[in-house]
Amino acid sequence: MDSDAGSLSSRASSPEFEDGAARFFASEAFGSFCVEQSEPSSSSSSRAGGKARTEKDRSEDGLQELRLKVNSRERKRMHDLNEAMDGLRQVMPYSQGPSVRKLSKIATLMLARNYIMMLTSSLEEMKRLVSDAYGGCQNFASRCTQRGPTVSQGGIPSLTQPLPSVMGAAPVPLSSTNCPTSLLSGYLNLTSIPRGFFKDLQQSSGVYLGSSYGHLSGVPCFCSLCQHQGQQFHQPLPRSTTNPVCLTTGK
DNA sequence: TAGGCCATCTGGTCCT
DNA sequence: AGGACCAGATGGCCTA
């Protein structure tokens, strides 16, 4: 209580020109340092031609200079933070384009979190699918992942190279067109909206390939249901449908 | 006009 | 001591 009051009073008593100067810097000289621009302060210049500066004046000027320096650093820090936020926005799905409103900071962070979670889930799903595709070999997916680049290195491992032998079997050559992992990479480039979040942005259509996977229509599908039915492409999923059932088959 | 978002200032705390 | 980081306060801008 007291600290707040003291804080408020100290703010209220701070020199008016400081705030005004900062506002000017923010609008007219964004990105440059405040110290350089605030040098010709009205307070200092008015004293320049006057009587000798007192010790108190010098002390106040020193504090003022320090305060401006600190403010400048803080501004730069926040600008850097905003640049990083912009960088994050650029790699977020549904965050670009002229008709898309800029994501707020909190929205960017929350979307990023869900995006990462979705990619992680997709990777797990991919492992399971690869395992299914190759006779249920339990070790395949993990070995495949170990050979490829890690997520932190740039994303989904590529399987365009011949696969390693699995449980003693001969290596199986795979092309990029029939490799489930490559197909999944394609998916991840196209579908990347976390379900259950940002409902207005949730326009993914197609079939859910598990509890964490959304698809676009017209994209090759390799889920077991569609493969079984001879379907190669998913059909559009009605908006707001959350039932994780393959609509291609209706099951 | 109210509410959301943002930039900035500021004082406090922690770390090197 | 100085810098980084943080949170609260404040005011401006924009939109529904």
pLDDT, tens digit, 9 for 90 and up, residues A138-162: 555 455 444 433 333 333 332 222 2
Q: Say whether the CB atom of A32 is under 7 angstroms from strand B.
A: no
A105-109, A187-191, A223-227, A244-248: least confidently modelled range: A244-248
* Closest listed residue to residue A219, CA positions, set A171, A244, A182: A182
Nucleotide C12: nearest residue by CA–C1'?
A: A23
DSSP string of A65-132?
A: HHHHHHHHHHHHHHHHHHHHHHHHHHTSTT--STTSPPPPHHHHHHHHHHHHHHHHHHHHHHHHHHHH
Indicate whether A194 pLDDT > 80: no
User: Three-class SS of residue A148?
Assistant: coil
Indicate whether A9 pLDDT > 80: no
Q: Which nucleotide is at minimal CA–C1' distance from A19?
A: B9
Confidence of residue A214 (pLDDT cuts 50, 70, 90): very low
Confidence of residue A122 (pLDDT cuts 50, 70, 90): very high
Q: Say whether the CB atom of A71 is under 7 angstroms from strand B.
A: yes
Q: Are A162 and A171 in contact (CB under 8 A)?
A: yes
CA of A5 to C1' of C3 (A): 27
Mean pLDDT value across chain A? 49
Q: Say whether the CB atom of A73 is under 7 angstroms from strand C.
A: yes
State which of A24-38, A67-81, A138-152, A161-175 shows the largest mean pLDDT.
A67-81
Q: Say whether the CB atom of A4 is under 7 angstroms from strand C.
A: yes
Q: What is the pLDDT of residue A103?
A: 83
Q: Which nucleotide is at minimal CA–C1' distance from A78?
A: B7
Q: What is the pLDDT of residue A223?
A: 34
Indicate whether A209 pLDDT > 60: no
Q: Which nucleotide is at minimal CA–C1' distance from A103?
A: B5
Indicate whether A124 pLDDT > 90: yes
Q: What is the pLDDT of residue A232?
A: 36
Q: Say whether the CB atom of A106 is under 7 angstroms from strand B.
A: yes
* pTM, rounded to two decimals: 0.46
Average pLDDT for residues A201-225, to the nearest whole number? 29
Indicate whether A170 pLDDT > 80: no
Nucleotides of C strand lying within 7 Å of any protein CB atom: 3-10, 12
Q: Which nucleotide is at minimal CA–C1' distance from A66?
A: C2
Half-sphere exposure of A144 (CA within 13 A, CB side): 30
Q: Say whether the CB atom of A23 is under 7 angstroms from strand C.
A: yes
Indicate whether A106 pLDDT > 50: yes
CA of A250 to C1' of C5 (A): 54
Nucleotides of B strand lying within 7 Å of any protein CB atom: 4-12
Q: Which nucleotide is at minimal CA–C1' distance from A30?
A: B7
